[in-house]
Amino acid sequence: MNLKIDISKEGSTQTLVAVAGEIDAYTAPKLREALLPLADEPNAVITVNLQNVSYMDSTGLGVFVGLLKNVRKNEGQLILVELSDRLERLFSITGLSDIIDISSKSEGGVQ
Digit-coded pLDDT (tens) for 34-62:
999 999 999 999 999 999 999 999 999 99
Domains in the chain, number: 1
What is the model's pLDDT at position 105?
A: 59
Inter-CA distances, 97 with 24, 25, 87, 108, Å: 19, 21, 10, 20
How many CA atoms are closer than 13 Å to the CA of 58, on its beta-carbon side? Answer: 2
What is the model's pLDDT at position 1?
A: 61
Q: How far apart are CA 50 and CA 54, in angstroms?
A: 9
Q: In what order do the strands lie in the sheet with 14-23?
A: 3-10, 14-23, 45-56, 77-81, 101-103
Residue-range definition of the domain harbouring residue 85: 14-103
Domain assignment of residue 59, yes or no: yes
Cβ atoms 49, 17 nearer than 8 A: yes
> What does the DSSP 8-state code read for residue 105?
S
Q: Give the CATH number of the domain where residue 38 resides.
A: 3.30.750.24
Domain assignment of residue 94, yes or no: yes
What is the model's pLDDT at position 107?
A: 47
Domain assignment of residue 2, yes or no: no
Domain assignment of residue 98, yes or no: yes
What is the model's pLDDT at position 13?
A: 85
Residues of the chain with pLDDT under 70: 1, 104-111
